[in-house]
Amino acid sequence: QVQLVESGGGLVQAGGSLRLSCAASGRTVSRLHMGWFRQPPGKEREFVAAISWSTNNTYYAESVKGRFTISRDNAKNMVYLQMNSLKPEDTAIYYCGGSWDYLKKYDYWGQGTQVTVSS
């Protein structure tokens, strides 16, 4: 059983910053590739960032490059998304995901945390 729980969402002004956290629990969660996704109001869920478990390779959606940073602490089974220079279009529910294959199918999901960026 793998469980993911996001936290850290909230309301922030454009140009501000937030750090999202994802706590993972389960027998082999430290070996999962992890990612962040988001679902803006009325839209489909989209990829934001990913990080591999073995070498900490990272990959970002073009829309967040240079502004967001994904990181992980395997000893604590935690994944983070540092979001800087936030824009109103970043408003969405943010989800943490876990995958056994980097940049491929995600098998585990958290419940999401709301991020709202005001203009």
pLDDT for 39 beyond 90:
yes
pLDDT above 90 for 6:
yes
Residue 1 reports pLDDT greater than 90? no
48 near 103, Cβ under 8 Å?
no
Length of the chain: 119
In which band, very low, low, confident or very high, does the pLDDT at 109 lie, cut at 50, 70 and 90? very high
| Tokens, residue 13 | 């002004």
- Contact 89/21 with Cβ under 8 angstroms? no
Task: Write out the two tokens for 74.
Answer: 């395997």
The structure tokens 């994944």 sit at 79
